[in-house]
Amino acid sequence: MTSELYYLAYTALLTAALWVVYIASQVMANGFLTPQNYDDPTPRPVPNWGKRANRAHLNAVESFAPFAALVLIIHVTAQQNSTTAFLCLAFFWLRLIHAVVYLAA
């Protein structure tokens, strides 16, 4: 497996981890879901750090698809080189830094 694919997988895990932080804020603020929560789709209140976690996750989701498409095109066409490896590495670490800074406000 190439380094580009490794960083694609790491980015996918990071995106999933940001979702877990948001769900944790929901559970901490409102408890676990009950059947009434499914009947009434009104969003439940969460603390500001939970709102930031949600926005960081949505931002990660929005940028993941184009990144994944480019990495897969690079892999299928066998165009991997040191530049593509560095750019994938940079994308992952910059996404991680963005998430940490955004969550820290």
* 38-92: pLDDT as tens digits: 777 777 888 999 999 999 999 999 999 999 999 999 999 999 999 999 999 999 9
Provide the CB-side half-sphere exposure for 101 (13 A, CA).
Answer: 6
* 8-19: pLDDT as tens digits: 999 999 999 999
Q: How far apart are CA 81 and CA 101, in angstroms?
A: 30
